[in-house]
Amino acid sequence: MTELATFNSPFQLLSREEWKQLNGHFSHNISDSDIQYLRALNEPLTMEEIEDIYFPLAHLLHIHIQHAKTLHQSTNSFFLTNNKKLPFIIGIAGSVAVGKSTTARVLQKVLSLLPDKPKVDLVTTDGFLYPNDTLLERGIMNRKGFPESYDAKGLLTFLADVKSGKANIEAPLYSHLVYDVLGEKIVIDAPDILIVEGINVLQVNSQRTGVFVSDFFDYSIYVDAKEKDIMAWYIDRFESLRATAFQDPKSYFHKFAGMDKDESKQMATDIWNEINRPNLIENILPTRYRADLILEKGDHHFVGKIKIRKI
């Protein structure tokens, strides 16, 4: 997608230094053990990154959340009703291996530290992938992660239930170890904030219903980086997994455990070029400018620039 021209862009561009200066009051200590839990494999995460990037982001989101509360109270007054406030939903999109999961986990942590200590839940759209058996039956196992590999109706129904105020909503869980949807469920019960993370959350739906996943978002974030960097991160992660998780006989990728480093790198490169890159170019990257905020990462995984939609 062509970069939006500066003179007509609906986004304001901020450097990391400019961005971190915007946080006027939000500050908390996060333990080293928490940071280790929040970070993903082969992805650095430091307290400095949390302070410079995620504390200002939490501050900004707090403004939007408070505005939503005020609007809710005003509309209740207008309609002479006493409807309960619905969850504030944040969508996080971006390529495979770009660091969406870490962004989602860190954001869940820092938002839970807001002054009113909101309940913050996190759901990934991996759970809404069709089971491997279904993908094999449809001949699209090599399209896993593409729009057609998701149960779009199930995901839309889940989000509609959240935004209708329904309690105890079930969402399916996914295992990266077995590379398939599990029979287990996570229960979402009236959170104050719900984070929905996945490569597909800003894509158009494949059901032709006129309803989009992003229609249910109150705020959306796209995690961005140069393609060459994302590819390098994917290859490095694949090699790290080959030496660790792939060694588990229960792993779907156990068959690759005996590869040497060169073979592992070639396999990861092939998967990137045949599956992940086409999905990025065709389906994910074109959704970037649907987001309200774009976190642009440098080659070391740390955010260097922020683009924020003007209001």
- The per-residue pLDDT for range 164-214, each reduced to its tens digit, is 999 999 999 999 999 999 989 999 999 999 999 999 899 755 555 678 899
Q: How many residues does the chain have?
A: 311
> 10-309 is classed in which CATH architecture?
3-Layer(aba) Sandwich (3.40)
**Is 299:236 a contact under the CB 8 Å cutoff?**
no
**Is 195:227 a contact under the CB 8 Å cutoff?**
no
Neighbours of 241 (CB within 10 A): 21
**Is 103:195 a contact under the CB 8 Å cutoff?**
no
Structure confidence at residue 61 (pLDDT): 96
| Stretches in the chain below the pLDDT threshold 70 | 1-7, 24, 204-209
Structure confidence at residue 268 (pLDDT): 94
Q: Kindly report the pTM of this predicted structure.
A: 0.93
Q: Mapped to the 3 state alphabet, what secondary structure does the chain carry? A: CCCCCHHHCCEEEEEHHHHHCCCCCCCCCCCHHHHHHHCCCCCCCCHHHHHHHHHHHHHHHHHHHHHHHHHHHHHHHHHCCCCCCCCEEEEEEECCCCCHHHHHHHHHHHHCCCCCCCCEEEEEHHHHECCHHHHHHCCCHHHCCCHHHECHHHHHHHHHHHHCCCCCEEEEEEECCCCEEEEEEEEECCCCEEEEECCCCCCCCCCCCCCCHHHHCCEEEEEECCHHHHHHHHHHHHHHHHHCHHHCCCCCCHHHCCCCHHHHHHHHHHHHHHHHHHHHHHHHHHHHHHCCEEEEECCCCCEEEEEEECC
φ, ψ of residue 105 in degrees (nearest 5): -70, -40
Structure confidence at residue 203 (pLDDT): 79
Structure confidence at residue 183 (pLDDT): 86
**Is 304:274 a contact under the CB 8 Å cutoff?**
no
What is the tens place of the pLDDT at every residue in 207-246? Answer: 556 788 999 999 999 999 999 999 999 999 999 998 888 9
Structure confidence at residue 5 (pLDDT): 47
Please, which residues have CB within 8 angstroms of residue 166's CB and are 6 or more apart in sequence?
none
Structure confidence at residue 3 (pLDDT): 52
How many Å apart are CA 72 and CA 74, to the nearest integer?
5
Quick one: 193 exposed, middle or buried, by C-beta within 10 A (0-12, 13-18, 19+)?
Answer: buried
Structure confidence at residue 2 (pLDDT): 44
